[in-house]
Amino acid sequence: MMRWILCFSMLLSACSGREAGAKTSRLKTTEQTPSPEAARPASPGFATRKISIGRREIVVEVADNDERRSYGLMFRTSLPEDDGMLFIFDDEQIRRFWMKNTRIPLSIAYINSKKEIIDILNMQPAAAGDPNPPLYSSRGPATYALEMNLGWFDRNQIKVGDSLRLH
């Protein structure tokens, strides 16, 4: 019986990470949590392209594959006034964007395969850690989405029905 108790005691101490009979420390250990910056995936890098929308000519970053479209404008703390990101898709369908890890408010124009704006929405950054951030869905099928600073389309008098031209 004594042998059984000794074996059980050794097994328990091995599982708890301390020797049998050792005193428990009163000091709390703190686990190191990675900073938000450490958890950030590396930016995939974006090409730029000149486009015209309405009467405005601007240069945008292009998100034209799954990796770039997934990363988008995440983790940016600012965006110059006339800069944006053009998302190019291989097909035309209802599009849904969210603002997870996006720190700046944006406006998005959904654009169909005829390169006509079909919808413009204003989007707010999601709350940190929100597991279900709001979705911003296009009103109809879209092949392109253009994200700009919040209110950019209004300030530049660009509206539904205006056209996108790629240069």
Q: Any idea where the domains of the chain sit in the sequence?
A: 41-166
Which CATH class, in words, describes the domain spanning 41-166? mainly beta
Q: What is the pLDDT of residue 41?
A: 72
Backbone angles phi, psi at 14, to 5 degrees: -65, -40
User: What is the amino acid identity at position 145?
Assistant: A
Give pLDDT tens digits for 37-57: 446 677 788 999 999 998 999
Between vectors from CA 21 to CA 15 and to CA 25, what angle results, nearest 5°? 80
Give pLDDT tens digits for 54-90: 899 999 999 999 999 999 999 899 999 999 999 999 9
Specify the higher pLDDT residue, 156 or 19. 156
Rounded CA-CA distance 123/133 in Å is: 11
Between vectors from CA 145 to CA 111 and to CA 156, what angle results, nearest 5°? 80
**Position 11 confidence tier, pLDDT thresholds 50, 70, 90:** very low
Whether 23 has a pLDDT exceeding 80, the answer reads no
The model's pTM is: 0.75
Sign of CA dihedral 54, 156, 80, 77: negative
Q: What is the pLDDT of residue 40?
A: 67
Average pLDDT over residues 126-133: 89
Average pLDDT over residues 28-43: 49
